[in-house]
Structure 1
């Protein structure tokens, strides 16, 4: 059960984030907004700072002057606020020696509920994460964070290594969960992101651009789609 402070619509905002590597500005003009009931996509080429931005919002990367707020209340680092958000990085989040059921208990998730639409996972629930394929382990971790009791979930490359049939089912799962959560995801599978997301941002030359009602056309203009 979420704490009363999380009742009703919630708005997560981030700005003032400036990051440079070797003198080159990676993030310099950033304003990001995610609200409950939304799926927000974050697109951009490799090295543009998408992971850095997600880490900063979550609080894993400390950036001076960065502002992360929920309903105009500062939450830095955000991960220290109970029940607020979770984050799946590109690298595996959970140790391979855990069974799928143990991982679910660690995150306080009902594994049977989280995998109800993925019956092919059921034979693996008592096996270790390190013993299943990389795509299966990725799928399980995405599902566990989706169904964990947080207001927002952040995903960095959630579709990596996942079979196309599972990507489609996972997209449907995200849409269902987004009725009560806010989701922010970054992935190179542009087609899936564009079909799934209510709002799409493009990280381009250090600036975070919110794309309009025709994001495909804008992405073509910026050279991201043929």
Structure 2
């Protein structure tokens, strides 16, 4: 059975400036929904509104047609990877994987360079490895829906390809909403793709649509 997340009628103003206007977006389990937007267009604001950590001027966020405005209180329903590092720097990898209830050996299998490093504090890792850990545990979390904000930034190309493989595996029973400035990665990863521009959102069908909306040229 497919489950769906819908964000509907979302409007956000900062003072007199409209950031988002009458947004509708749908994400379903079994698929990866991509979101492209330039800096300042409001994509992170949109994710925070869906998550419930930012109050919009108007919004309706529904899971299987049930309105839930504070999804951040429901980790089994929705989890969110922010742009910034969110795991406390003093945590050891063992503690992180235990907290997320995720087996460490599965992580080792994907990324052998982490073999026997369970007792390393995350602050001791390089920036790319630290981000890799955060992305992995978020993707593998128990949540039905997962939002990923800039998951590929600062991650080496080989690891990006492995994360994309992981997303394909995990989407069999989850829904993903993903955004990144590395738009080629988003385009090749996504089953459905939205472009957010000038406060409005557009469901795209091809790279021609993306060009017409002025996001990128191919």
- Scaled to the shorter chain, the TM-score interval is over 0.9
Corresponding position of 2:86: 93
For 2:213 and 2:200, the matched residues in 1 are separated by: 13
Match of 2:179 among 168, 180, 186: 186
Distance 1:116 1:22 in 2: 49
Correspondence 1:102 to 2:95:
yes
Structure 1 Cα separation of the partners of residues 57 and 38 of structure 2: 25
TM-aligned CA deviation for residue 64 of structure 1:
4.1
Could you tell me how far 1:113 is from its partner in structure 2? 2.0
Shift of 1:79: 1.8
SS in structure 1 opposite 2:6? strand
TM-score by length of 1: 0.92
Residue 224 (str. 1) matches residue 192 (str. 2): no
Secondary structure of 2:89's match? coil
Helix, strand or coil for the counterpart of 1:173?
Answer: helix
Residue 63 in 1 paired to residue 62 in 2?
no
In the alignment, structure 2 segments of 5+ residues that lack a partner are none
Compute the RMSD of aligned alpha carbons. Answer: 1.3
Find out whether 1:155 has 2:148 as its counterpart.
yes
What is the rounded CA distance, in whole Å, between the counterparts of 1:219 and 1:183 in structure 2?
20
Q: Deviation at 1:88?
A: 0.6
CA distance in 2, matches of 1:114, 1:14: 32
Cα deviation for residue 111 of structure 1 reads 2.2
For 1:195, the equivalent position in structure 2 comes to 188
Deviations 1:141-181 (A, max 9, x none): 11101111110110100001000111111111111111111
Structure 1 residue corresponding to 2:130, chosen from 133, 137, 143: 137
| 1:77 aligned residue (52, 55, 70) | 70
Preserved CA contact (<8 Å) 1:115 1:143: no
2:13–2:57 Cα contact (<8 Å) kept:
no
Structure 1 or 2: larger strand share?
A: 2
Cα shift at 1:39: 0.3
For 1:210, what is the secondary structure of its paired residue? Answer: strand
How far apart are residue 60 of structure 1 and its match?
A: 1.1
So what's the TM-score if we normalise by structure 2?
0.95
Q: Which structure 1 segments of 5+ residues have no match?
A: 1-7
* Secondary structure of 1:83 counterpart: coil
Number of equivalent positions: 217
- Contact 2:12–2:57 (8 Å) recurs in 1: no
